[in-house]
Amino acid sequence: MSTPAAVTSYARDVSATWWYTAGSILTFHVLGIVVWSVPILLRPTLLPEPLAITLFFVGSAGSLAAAVALLVRYRHEPVDGDEAPVRRSWPFLLAGAASAAVMALSVGSLILGTCLAAYVLCLVRWRSGIRLRLVALLVIVILAVWFVDATRLAPEASGSSVFGLVLFVAMLPPLAATSLWWWDIVRELDRARRAEGRLAAAQERLRLASDLHDLQGHHLQVIALQLELAEKMMGRDPDAAVEQVRAARASVDEARRGTRDLASRFRGVPLPDELANAADLLRAAGLTVELLVDAEAHRAPADVLGPVVREATTNVLKHGGGDLASLSLSRHRGDWVLVVENDAGAASSPVGDGAGLSGIAERVGAVGGSMDAGRVDELFRITVRVPEGVPA
């Protein structure tokens, strides 16, 4: 089972979705408080006016604080957890319900207290089946209390104004529940994306291990037989034994070539995939990434530009210290042009003073290309040019 500590790391875009969701919920909460502050300021209440106003704003502060605490807990709790998160939320639920009761007393409206109490109940991570039934039950209770309270909510006010006040606060519980349900979907999709990446990497490792086992197992068995035969023939036919040793040495060379070819085949990732993987890696590190790739990028020399992409990505992760990055591959005047940019932020390391950039320059220089690196305004930019004539 997942633990809270295991689910607190999100990519930047998922975190932005959370802040949008929580901000929307709390904004409507504050708007509801503002809307219901109008009756208590403009019409007589059952309590003395100073006491009613004080109770209303104390209850509002308590209700808002309970909502913030519940949302903070909601974000860091596992989606597939047990009932422990619900049990740990009871103090905040009681505080929210008490605040709702204080606000209802200050205004003299039962529907206000019911809606706000239902609202805080919807901010708890209930199990999916319980949450759906709970929201349906709360809507029924709100409608029933609305019907009972309608005749005495504001007899002197117009029907449309009373309806607007009640409808706004009555929409808070289903709004909070659906918003958090949507956040759970986004969170599960992010977790599935991460799991898919880990599974793909594991499958690739298993495939490599299987191919390596088949390759090396065959050659090692042949070498063992050849050496065993040489040992047996050493006394009675030394020349034949020497031939078997030479054959074993040739088998070693063949195994070494096969291993090298196997490694080269697994390193041969198409360049568009290489760029997409680099962008995903930077996004996972929390950067906002822009990726622009030419439609004919599969024709670019991946054996030259692939290592350049990996080295430039490592450079951004080690020395960038910023929030933005961009990768682009295009054709310009007979060259493939790879540009990697990032905002250098507050990094104190001299970005261009590493062996990595020198290695890039040597690699592309060997095929007639060129590399430029340096700061442009607030950005650090690496520009690599490779002739289109270099075979892919």
Sign of CA dihedral 210, 216, 217, 219: positive
CATH number of the domain to which 244 belongs: 1.20.5
- Packing angle, helices 302-319 and 355-365, rounded to 10: 160
Q: In what order do the strands lie in the sheet with 288-293?
A: 288-293, 324-332, 335-343, 379-387, 370-376
* Residue at 392 is within a domain: no
* Contact present, 249 and 277 (Cβ < 8 Å): no
* Contact present, 274 and 310 (Cβ < 8 Å): yes
Parent domain of 367? 271-387
Instruction: Let me know whether 103 and 33 are in one domain.
Output: yes
* Residue at 141 is within a domain: yes
Q: Which amino acid is at 21?
A: T
* Residue at 233 is within a domain: yes
Instruction: Let me know whether 14 and 124 are in one domain.
Output: yes
Q: In this predicted model, what pLDDT tens digit does every residue of 334-348 receive, in sequence order?
A: 889 999 998 865 443
DSSP state of 268: -
* Residue at 90 is within a domain: yes
For the chain, the domain total comes to: 3
* Contact present, 363 and 307 (Cβ < 8 Å): yes
Instruction: Let me know whether 31 and 167 are in one domain.
Output: yes
- The last residue of a domain, from among 156, 174, 192: 192
- The last residue of a domain, from among 225, 250, 267: 267
Q: Which amino acid is at 201?
A: A
CA distances from 125 to 5, 18, 117, 151, 170 (A): 16, 15, 16, 35, 20
Per-residue pLDDT of the chain (392 residues; tens, 9 = 90+): 333 333 344 555 677 888 888 888 899 888 888 877 776 665 555 667 778 788 888 888 888 999 999 888 888 776 655 555 566 778 888 888 888 888 888 777 788 888 888 888 888 888 767 878 888 888 888 888 877 766 654 444 444 455 666 777 788 888 888 888 888 888 888 777 777 767 776 776 777 777 777 777 877 888 888 888 888 888 888 888 888 888 888 888 888 888 777 766 655 567 888 888 888 888 877 788 889 988 888 888 888 888 888 888 888 877 666 788 899 999 888 889 999 998 865 443 434 444 577 888 888 888 888 888 888 878 888 999 998 877 65
Half-sphere exposure of 229 (CA within 13 A, CB side): 16
The Cβ of residue 202 has, within 10 Å, a number of other Cβ atoms equal to: 10
Which pTM was predicted? 0.53
Instruction: Let me know whether 218 and 336 are in one domain.
Output: no
Q: Which residues contact 284 (CB under 8 A, 6 or more apart)?
A: 11
